[in-house]
Amino acid sequence: MANVTLVEKPKGLVRRFAFRYTRRAFGHVVEPTAAAANHGGVLAGWGAMEMIASRSWNRFDPTLRGLVIHLTSTRIGCPWCIDYGYFETVQQGVDPKKLRNVTRWRESELFDDRERVALEYAETATGSPAEVPTELARRLHAHFDEAQIVELAAWVALENYRSRFNAGLGLKSEGFSDKCEIPMAGRQNSGQSS
């Protein structure tokens, strides 16, 4: 159960627009939108950031972005973000096996050096304190240009915002990943997490 009332009938232009948008995008109003609708300024700010990110943050490889975002949400432990992130990333063509093993990126042979350094960055930047060692920054520069590194940092920060917002408000899975042809590992292995 959410920690705040999930708005059902939006009042005001921004809230009505957000509800209309999420109905078109998801088939229904998702809980993060219904929760954020309690504060029009938060809803508008979040919506603006998401719109700008989706339209102009395009320097970083989309497959790697999906892996980084999924790792970030699993490190924070946000059920809503893990569920939706898995669904969205599989729909974009990312190998579900990689997603199911993203938390084991160090041991798994599925990941190359470029993916490993991005995942290490995501893990480090999601930690507290978020201190990125000089040696890790050097390895990032061996695989990515400046704009890509900035965008990587932005995606990790945005997913930290999403995951901490949703988890902090008690928002749970809405069953998006159930719609994937290949379910998350936890659903096929008697409840064990991936």
DSSP string spanning 48-65?
HHHHHHHHH--SS-HHHH
The pLDDT value recorded for residue 103 is 96
CATH number for the segment(s) 60-185: 1.20.1290.10
DSSP-assigned letter for residue 193: -
pLDDT at 166 over 90: yes
Residue pair 94/67 in contact (Cβ under 8 Å)? The answer is: yes
CA 74 to centroid of chain Cα atoms: 9
Distances (CA, A) of 50 to 36, 113, 135, 146: 13, 29, 31, 22
| CA-closest candidate to residue 22, choices 4, 7, 34 | 34
Residue 56 φ/ψ, nearest 5 degrees: -130, 0
134-138 mean pLDDT: 98
Residue pair 148/60 in contact (Cβ under 8 Å)? The answer is: yes
**Interatomic CA distance for residues 190 and 194, integer angstroms:** 11
Residue pair 155/71 in contact (Cβ under 8 Å)? The answer is: no
E strands along the chain, which residues? none
Least trusted range by pLDDT, from 50-59, 75-84, 137-146, 184-193: 184-193
DSSP string spanning 91-113?
HTT--HHHHHTGGGTTT-TT--H
pLDDT band for position 1 (50/70/90)? confident
The pLDDT value recorded for residue 176 is 87
Q: Position 184: which residue type?
A: M
Q: Position 171: which residue type?
A: L
Residue pair 182/172 in contact (Cβ under 8 Å)? The answer is: no
Domain borders along the chain are 8-56, 60-185
Residue pair 67/102 in contact (Cβ under 8 Å)? The answer is: yes
The pLDDT value recorded for residue 194 is 35
